[in-house]
Structure 1
Amino acid sequence: MENLDEQQFEALVVEGLDALSDEIVDGLDNVVFVTEDRPEDGSLSVLGLYDGVALTERGQYGFGELPDRIILFREPLLAVSESLDELKEQIHITLVHEIAHYYGIDDEQLHELGWA
């Protein structure tokens, strides 16, 4: 897959977010979506990351918390995609996967649902 720069990649992520159904997005609260080139360890095997406290574990969650972050990693996503359409599909799958973690759905449940 040709190399997209950060702005082009970020535009595809925004497009992917806009395409998600309202039922997925409407429940998101105090979450930011960011893009980074790679995970901190430099790995190309991690496509995305949910960094926060899942809704199911929030308890006394209230005002003043930093937003949870959903991170999509540009270089790993480019590495697994052979075309622009495949990249868009991988971005969609990664967004749904990481948003599911926000809702407290773990990898095992995602696998059962066909999203892991």
Structure 2
Amino acid sequence: MIRKPSGPHTVPPTVEDLERMAEEALDTIPAELLAPVGNLVIHVEDFPDEDTEREMELESPFDLLGLYRGVDLTRQSVADLRGGPDMIFLYRRPILDYWCETGEELPAIVRHVLIHEIGHHFGFSDDDMERIETME
């Protein structure tokens, strides 16, 4: 069953709309989770690129909502050469597809993906991330 997407949108939200939602979602994530992240960039693209699709062994580009790129804190050492900031990629079209399929609030989906990807930065388990999602 396809549900009507929630929210005031009459046209699909743009990359810029999702970037704004991601910024707003970051404001709702507990400070103790974000404080150690530091140099983190959120980047929204329509789909993962072909290299990412191959690397993640995706059957479809719609299979990936977000991706953390960088060395997670459980594996970082002083020997790590930093080639730039850690990044979280949000993939607009798969997120919108998920939104349409589930009927969940779009900002809540964006927040969920961000928490999940930030959790990877810390090496958190799925249970840890679920607990964080319930914190405000």
**TM bin (shorter chain):** 0.7 to 0.9
Q: What do you get for the CA RMSD once the two structures are aligned? A: 2.3
What do the CA deviations read for 1:27-78 (whole angstroms, capped 9, x no partner)?
Answer: 1022211111111136111110011101111112567531111111111111
- Classify the secondary structure of the residue corresponding to 2:36: coil
Instruction: Show the counterpart of 2:91.
Output: 73
Query: Equivalent of 1:59, from 60, 77, 80?
Result: 77
The TM-score with structure 1 as length reference comes to 0.82
**Which deviates further from its counterpart, 24-33 or 57-66?**
57-66
Structure 1 CA distance, aligned partners of 2:74 and 2:90? 22
- What letter is aligned with 1:104? G
- Correspondence list, 1:1-116, <5 A: 1=5, 2-40=11-49, 41=53, 43-61=61-79, 64-82=82-100, 86-105=105-124, 109-110=125-126, 112-113=127-128, 115=130
Give the % identical residues.
30
Q: Distance in 2 between matches of 1:65 and 1:85?
A: 36
Which AA in structure 1 matches 2:93? E
Larger Cα-atom Rg: 2
Instruction: Give the C-alpha shift of residue 97 in structure 1.
Output: 0.4
Give the direction of change, closer, same or farther, for the CA distance of 1:56–1:76 in structure 2 (3 Å limit): same
| 4+ runs deviating over 4 angstroms | 61-64
TM-score normalised to the size of structure 2? 0.71
Distance 1:44 1:58 in 2: 30
Larger relative contact order, structure 1 or 2 (CA cutoff 8 Å, min sep 6): 2
How many residues get paired? 111
Question: Structure 1 residues 61 and 12, CA, compared in 2 at 3 Å: closer, same or farther?
Answer: farther
The offset of 1:88, in angstroms, is 1.0
Question: d(CA) in 1 for partners of 2:103 and 2:25?
Answer: 13
Cα distance in 2 for residues equivalent to 1:63 and 1:31:
16
Gaps of 5+ in 1: none
The structure-2 alpha-carbon separation of the partners of 1:100 and 1:94, relative to structure 1 and needing over 3 Å to count, comes to same
